[in-house]
A and B are shown apart, each in its own frame.
Chain A
Amino acid sequence: MTSVNPKDNAADLTVLGIETSCDETAAAVVRGPHGRQILSNTIRSQIDEHTEFGGVVPEIAARAHIDILDRIVAEAMQEADCGWDDIDAVAATAGPGLIGGVIVGFMTAKAIAMAANKPIVGVNHLEGHALTARLTHDLDFPFLLLLVSGGHSQFLLVRGVGDYERLGTTIDDAIGEAFDKTAKLLGLPYPGGPHVEKMAAAGDPLRFKLPRPLLDRAGLDMSFAGLKTALRTQAKKLEPVDDQTVSDLCAGFQRAVSDVLAARTKSALDLFKQRHPDVEPVIVVAGGVAANAEIRSSLLTAAAEAGARFIAPPMRLCTDNAAMIAWAGIERLCEGPVDDMALSPRPRWPLDARQAGILGAGRKGAKV
């Protein structure tokens, strides 16, 4: 296996990235670290396949990935105008995520790396999100990351490549998951986020009193499962519900999530300032939930009040994509030679390995 050590040679690297950990089949070619450039970023979403089930079905997702991944990779290479000789390494998500899909992506990547004689980098999906802002913005370590998606809701202190500290996380549902479950409960289509937001636009956020879970406690952990249950309890009393009630429930839910996130973001920035008093505080937001306008605006306000710089990469790079995986691969390779051919795909893989798992301490290890 060849190895790449850019410290010997300051030239940029060209890396093929592959992402298949949830319901997006994606491949991308990215150059960096100096002249940061996304040469291609191909994504095929599986929303249509999962719609009738109201959520991502792991086996359906895995089947969809194997059906099209090789074609998606070929498209990404073609769009980047790259042959196999033009790339320096292959990076692919090795976890955490739905294991059936992770296996398809990571094994495909290993095969490409072996046949093309390139190094393989197994990227932690969360690390991809954590480092994306360094692809899109001039940003030095350390910074604070809020990752809010269908699978994760956590605050991470990003001190360097491979140096992360999870400051707080949801102890049950991820926010995107709570949006999806709320939508399903109210008979709104999948994915729930945009539909709940649309209904909320015509709703009164104050009509229903919904809890702000865990805000009475110190720390940065969050909880969203109880919020969804509280919403169900209130809705049950009014069954069958009219459209206005659905709108009001959605508005109340969205406001509760925004309030929790804004409060926790302020505390997280306070903690960041304590830890790094000499550094300009920066909060980076990643994940599909950042597309919600009310949540985004409450995060902006929270950042402004704390005197922090607010960075949200463009939505296409904020939700699951392979450019972030390729970029994380570049960042890893810049730290020294990498050879992850022996690494196994992992369903669970906390970014901060020192931290005890919060959820699911079973055979597969901690979920978050």
Chain B
Amino acid sequence: MRVLAIDTSLANCAAAVLDNGADTACFEEVGEEIGRGHAERLMDMIGEVMAEASTAFSDLDRVVVTVGPGSFTGLRVGLSVARGFGLVLGKPVVGITTLAAIARAAAPSDGGADLLVALTGKGEEVYCQQFTADGEVCGDAGVRTLSDLANCLPRGIRLAGSAAESVAGKLGAAPEQIVSRCGFPGIRDVAELGLTADPARSSPSPLYLRPPDASPQTRGRIERQ
């Protein structure tokens, strides 16, 4: 199977082509940690990686994209493009969470304590999810406060992600419990997860984890009889 993978959810902007066929195997990637401005860079990167991998759009079997958690605008850039490709190609588009992709790279696979992937959110909040030492999901993704996590995380838990340091600090965890501080997934992990993901259970829908900041405003309204 040959997939095009896209990640614009966090600070990275990346695209890759991965093929796991016995005779057709290949992997090409293009990416840069740009912080913001994914909409300006993504199409060029896709064009470049498709050319590097000598791949035409009709060669693709599916499109893989990160769905968040991450920057709301950033993840919509990748999702718009991936779903646009899916529409024309008539091929599945699968969504991978940034947390799962980070866990895939960070999982120690030593049969030891679980792994919490935690990304920095607003203020005290982190976007996080717990995985086994093998990187298997063992809890729902959610928004938690650092204090809340400190109260309920098991002592020996391993930590990964941009918020690993702050969670460790709050928890009083030993430095060796931090297995990775990387704040975004590697595009190869996104692509690998996409190869095996079940399209029926990996919808390319945003994973915001937070409702929009909006509240009904009635201030200044004239009182009616």
Contact = CB atoms under 8 A, between A and B. Distances in A.
Interface in B60-105: 72-73, 76-77, 79-89
B89 to A, nearest CB: 6
B208 interface: yes
B39 A240 contact: no
Interface in A110-137: 110-112, 114-116
Contact of A341 (B43, B73, B76, B85): B43
Residue among A63, A114, A232, A240 with max Cβ neighbours from chain B (10 Å): A114
Residue among B57, B76, B77 with max Cβ neighbours from chain A (10 Å): B76
A69 B204 CA distance: 13
B47 A111 contact: no
B214 interface: yes
B217 interface: yes
Given A63-B206, A67-B205, A341-B43, A103 B73 contact: yes
A344 B39 contact: yes
A112 B206 contact: no
A103 B223 contact: no
A60 B214 contact: yes
A63 B76 CA distance: 8
B82 to A, nearest CB: 7
A115 B80 contact: no
Given A60-B214, A66-B76, A242-B225, A110 B220 contact: no
Nearest to A61: B212
Nearest to A57: B214
Interface stretch (A181-189, A211-219, A300-308, A356-364): A181-189
A66 B205 CA distance: 8
B223 A240 contact: yes
Interface in A234-248: 235-236, 239-243, 246
A63 B73 CA distance: 10
B225 A112 contact: no
Contact of B46 (A66, A114, A116): A114
A52 interface: yes
A62 interface: yes
A235 B217 contact: no
- Give the interface residue-count category, chain A: 35 or more
B152 to A, nearest CB: 30
B22 interface: no
Given A59-B212, A60-B214, A63-B212, A107 B77 contact: yes
A103 B40 contact: no
A68 to B, nearest CB: 10
Interface string A204-238: 00000000000000000000000000001001100
A84 interface: yes
B56 to A, nearest CB: 9
A203 to B, nearest CB: 15
Interface residues of B, number: 38
Contacts of B205: 67
B48 to A, nearest CB: 12
Contacts of B40: 344
A67 B206 CA distance: 8
A106 B77 CA distance: 9
Contact of B216 (A52, A99, A235, A246): A52
Interface in A288-330: none
Contacts of B86: 70
B50 to A, nearest CB: 9
A241 B224 contact: yes
A74 interface: yes
A321 to B, nearest CB: 20
B25 interface: no
Given A108-B84, A115-B85, A116-B88, A187 B212 contact: no
A345 B85 CA distance: 19
A73 interface: yes
A103 B76 contact: yes
Nearest to B213: A59
Interface string B27-58: 00000000000011011101100000000010
B225 A345 contact: no
Contacts of A112: 84-85, 87-88
A241 B212 contact: no
10 contacts: A59-B212, A59-B213, A99-B73, A103-B39, A108-B80, A114-B57, A184-B221, A185-B222, A186-B224, A235-B222
Q: Which 3 A-B pairs rank lowest in CB-CB distance, beginning with the nearest?
A: A111-B84, A59-B212, A107-B80
Interface of A: 52-54, 57, 59-60, 62-63, 66-67, 69-70, 73-74, 84, 99-100, 103-112, 114-116, 184-187, 232, 235-236, 239-243, 246, 341-342, 344-345
Given A70-B86, A112-B87, A184-B221, 5 more contacts: A74-B87, A105-B80, A114-B43, A239-B223, A240-B225
